[in-house]
Structure 1
Amino acid sequence: MKTPKMLTLISLVLLVLIFIASLFFTITLPQNQSMEQTVARYLENDPKYQRTLDSGETPSISPDEMAAETMSALQVFFAIPTIYIAIIAIIVLIGYTIISKRPKGAALTLFSAGVLSLATVIIPVLLFIAGGMLKKRSA
């Protein structure tokens, strides 16, 4: 039981670190000047904005002002993966706590968390290995 618990604990620690980094990024996004400049440059190169300039029209709002307004929408957009990571971490924590009492249930929980966290690459590998070991031992 030590190896599945250790793999699950490593996965949980990685998820918590990713969650903290994502939360920090999301909270500090409005103060992130480089991100705002990047959005402004993207908006300046937008074909629709360029057509407006080419036709001689004056845009109602500058790219810098538009980028400043966009930052709040981006903050909401980046909050979604942060919440998603928190949910996966909670599922892994539940799986970790039930490993000794219910290995089959823990295996199912870890497999579920592994599928949900496929985008992170390393974490699902650890969770699938831990879940497979638990399933094999409980059978």
Structure 2
Amino acid sequence: MKTPKTLTMISLILLILLFIACLLFTITLPQNQSMEQAVTRYLENDPKYQRTLDSGETPSICPGEMASETMSALQVFFAIPTIYIAIITIIVLIGYTLISKRPKGAALTLSSAGILSLATVVIPVLLFIAGGMLRKRSA
């Protein structure tokens, strides 16, 4: 039971670090000047905006103001993966607590968390290995 616990703990620590990084990024997004400049450049190079300028019309809103408004929408957009990572972290924590008492339930929980966290690449590998080892030991 030591190896699955170790792999699960490593996954849990990585998930917590990822959650903290996502949370900090999401919270500080409105103050992130480089992100706002990138959004402004993107909006300035937008074909629709360029056509408006080429036709001689004056845009109703400048790209800088539009970028400022977009930053709040981006903050809400980036909150979604942060919440998703928090949910996966809770599932892994539950799986970790089940390892010694119910290895079969822990295997299912860790495998489920591994499927949910496929986008993170390293974490699901650790969780699948831990879940597989627990499944073999409980059988």
Range into which the TM-score falls when normalised by the shorter chain: over 0.9
Q: What value does the CA root-mean-square deviation take over the aligned residues?
A: 0.2
- The TM-score normalised by the length of structure 2 is 1.00
Q: Equivalent residue for 2:30?
A: 30
d(CA) in 2 for partners of 1:121 and 1:28? Answer: 26
How far off is 1:107 after superposition?
0.1
Residue 56 of structure 1 aligns with an amino acid whose one-letter code is: G
How far off is 1:81 after superposition?
0.1
Q: Equivalent residue for 1:63?
A: 63
d(CA) in 2 for partners of 1:79 and 1:18? Answer: 13
Whether 1:9 and 2:9 are equivalent positions in the alignment is yes
SS of structure 2 residue aligned to 1:56: coil
d(CA) in 2 for partners of 1:108 and 1:98? Answer: 10
Runs of 4+ more than 2 Å apart: none
How far off is 1:108 after superposition?
0.1
Q: Equivalent residue for 1:113?
A: 113
How far off is 1:52 after superposition?
0.3
d(CA) in 1 for partners of 2:2 and 2:58? Answer: 67
SS of structure 2 residue aligned to 1:101: coil
- Consecutive unaligned residues in structure 1, runs of 5 or more: none
How far off is 1:95 after superposition?
0.1
- The TM-score normalised by the length of structure 1 is 1.00
Whether 1:98 and 2:98 are equivalent positions in the alignment is yes
Residue 11 of structure 1 aligns with an amino acid whose one-letter code is: S
Q: Equivalent residue for 1:50?
A: 50
Residue 107 of structure 2 aligns with an amino acid whose one-letter code is: A
SS of structure 2 residue aligned to 1:6: helix
Q: Equivalent residue for 1:72?
A: 72
Equivalent residue pairs, number? 139
Q: Percent identity?
A: 87
- How do residues 80-91 of structure 1 correspond to structure 2 at under 5 angstroms? 80-91=80-91
How far off is 1:27 after superposition?
0.1
How far off is 1:112 after superposition?
0.2
- Consecutive unaligned residues in structure 2, runs of 5 or more: none
